Structure 1
Amino acid sequence: MERKSDLELVVKRTFNAPAHIVFEAWSKPELFKLWWVPKSVGMSLLSCEMDVRTGGAYRLVFSHPDFDRPMAFFGTYREVTPHKRIVWANEENDQGALTTVTFEENDGKTLVTFHELYPTTAALEEALAGSAEGLPEQFAQLDELLAGRS
């Protein structure tokens, strides 16, 4: 995980699977829900709606014992190029990031670059203290999922 600027966070990880399989794990709700929530946080993904296409939308609803009520995260897909790139805008509030994920295959392995651009430094700081903290665990869970699919 690397903080590229006051507004940017970048995480890179190589997965031992071809790009089309890694892309499916990011774009098919039935697979995405298996790895996206870090198991250690005690959170549950109650619903996972994803229309992964340019102009499509997503809505993820989470619950946690510490939450008064379920929490929803939602937004739109700005650009989707199958097996290559997904760009989405997090729209649940005005501090949401623009997230770009790229998939670069080389010799049957795929380098995933996860890039988030935040509107303010405070929004990035909040992400680093919260959800971004779980990215290494999320990627480890994705690795486990892909090991069973390649």
Structure 2
Amino acid sequence: MANNHATENELMITRVFDAPRELVFKAWTEPERLAQWWGPKGYELQVSKLDLRPGGIFLGSQRSPEGHVMWGKFVYQEIQAPEKLVFIQSFSDEEGNTIRAPFSGTWPLEVINHLTLTESEGKTTLTLRGGPFNATEEERATFENMRPHVQQGFVGTFDQLDAFLEQNLNR
């Protein structure tokens, strides 16, 4: 049976960045900024499209240091600049068609992410929560089993965002 909501045990990550909320939001929503930090360490992101509006998509490819290329997309559900982004994340082909993850036949086709940004004294608290969307029981179980790897991946990605923000504040 499909579930249109994130799992009860959804993933939640909170991180504080020493940067204003406006800059953190731009890092998520401007292609030239997103390309500098999103994804696993050592991977290169090529942004093919970023249409920031409800129903719009981000489409991009990541190239591993060994040359392996994976495509992915976000379909934006809600945008409240500079405090909130809601998007459904999927693996895709070059045209943006949703495909199965290259590493698992049971990884959810769609993962919904709720990103909120709050600012206090020049620092931004980012909260990301999300989980499988329109997923089968098997897909939800796969997500749950891989939760530690997903969290570890976001820690690394947010380390890169932190470094990007630090470089952009000092320019």
TM-score range, shorter chain: 0.7 to 0.9
Structure 1, residues 81-103: CA drift from partner, whole Å, max 9, x if none? 11110111124345320111110
**Corresponding residue to 1:121 among 131, 137, 140:** 140
Structure 1: gaps (5+ residues): none
Corresponding position of 1:14: 16
Q: 2:31 corresponds to which residue?
A: 29
Q: Percent identity?
A: 28
Spell out the pairing of 1:1-150 with structure 2 (5 A cutoff): 7-39=9-41, 42-64=42-64, 65=66, 67=68, 70-91=69-90, 92-93=98-99, 95-118=109-132, 119=135, 120-125=139-144, 127-128=146-147, 130-150=149-169
Q: Distance in 2 between matches of 1:126 and 1:60?
A: 26
Q: Of the two, which has the highest radius of gyration? A: 2
Is the alpha carbon distance of 1:75 and 1:143 closer, same or farther for their aligned partners in structure 2, counting shifts above 3 Å?
Answer: closer
Q: Distance in 2 between matches of 1:66 and 1:122?
A: 30
Question: Secondary structure of 1:17's match?
Answer: coil
Change in CA separation of 1:81 and 1:48 when aligned onto 2, cut-off 3 Å: same
Q: Is the 8 A contact 1:6 1:124 kept in 2?
A: no
Residues paired across the two proteins, number: 143
Q: Which amino acid aligns with 1:53?
A: R
Where does structure 2 lack aligned partners over 5 or more consecutive residues?
A: 1-5, 91-97, 100-107
AA at the equivalent of 1:25: A
Report which stretch shifted further, 11-20 or 57-66: 57-66
Flag the 1:60–1:123 CA change in 2: closer, same or farther, 3 A: farther
2:94 is aligned to none
Distance 1:124 1:137, change over 3 A: same
TM-score normalised by structure 2 residue count? 0.72
Structure 2 contact 35–44 (Cα < 8 Å) conserved: no
* Displacement after TM superposition at 1:38 (Å): 2.4
Partner of 2:103: none
